[in-house]
Amino acid sequence: MARHTKIPITVAEEGMITEGNHLYLIPPRMNVSIFNGTLLLEKQVADHQLHLPIDIFFKSLALDQKKQAIAIVLSGPGSDGIL
C-alpha cells in the first residue's frame, strides 16, 4: 500500500491512540477493536472456526464512533467485512 499512498501506514498496537488520515493494519492472528479512540488487540483463539477480524473491528468502530465512523474494505479473504 505504501507505494500507492502518502498516508502514514502503521501496524496496530495495543493502546495506540488513532489519528485521522492514517492507515492501521491488523497484525496477523489478531483481532482489533476500538474504544474511546484507542486500539485494543486480542489474540484469535486457535480453533477451527471462521475468524472475521474486519467485521469485529467495524462493529466496535460503529459503537465507538457512531456517525463519525468511516471504513473502507480494500481487500480481504472471503466474506470478512460484509456484516
- Predicted local confidence at residue 77, as pLDDT: 63
Digitized pLDDT (tens) for each residue of the chain, 83 residues in all: 788 889 999 999 999 999 988 999 999 989 999 999 999 999 998 877 778 888 999 999 999 999 988 887 777 667 777 77
Range of the domain at 59: 9-68
Instruction: Let me know if residue 49 belongs to a domain.
Output: yes
- Predicted local confidence at residue 59, as pLDDT: 94
Instruction: Let me know if residue 58 belongs to a domain.
Output: yes
Q: How many CA atoms lie within 13 A of 22 on its CB side?
A: 12
Instruction: Let me know if residue 28 belongs to a domain.
Output: yes
Sequence letter at residue 62: A
- Using CB atoms within 10 A of its CB, is residue 39 exposed (0-12), middle (13-18) or buried (19+)? buried
- Using CB atoms within 10 A of its CB, is residue 19 exposed (0-12), middle (13-18) or buried (19+)? exposed
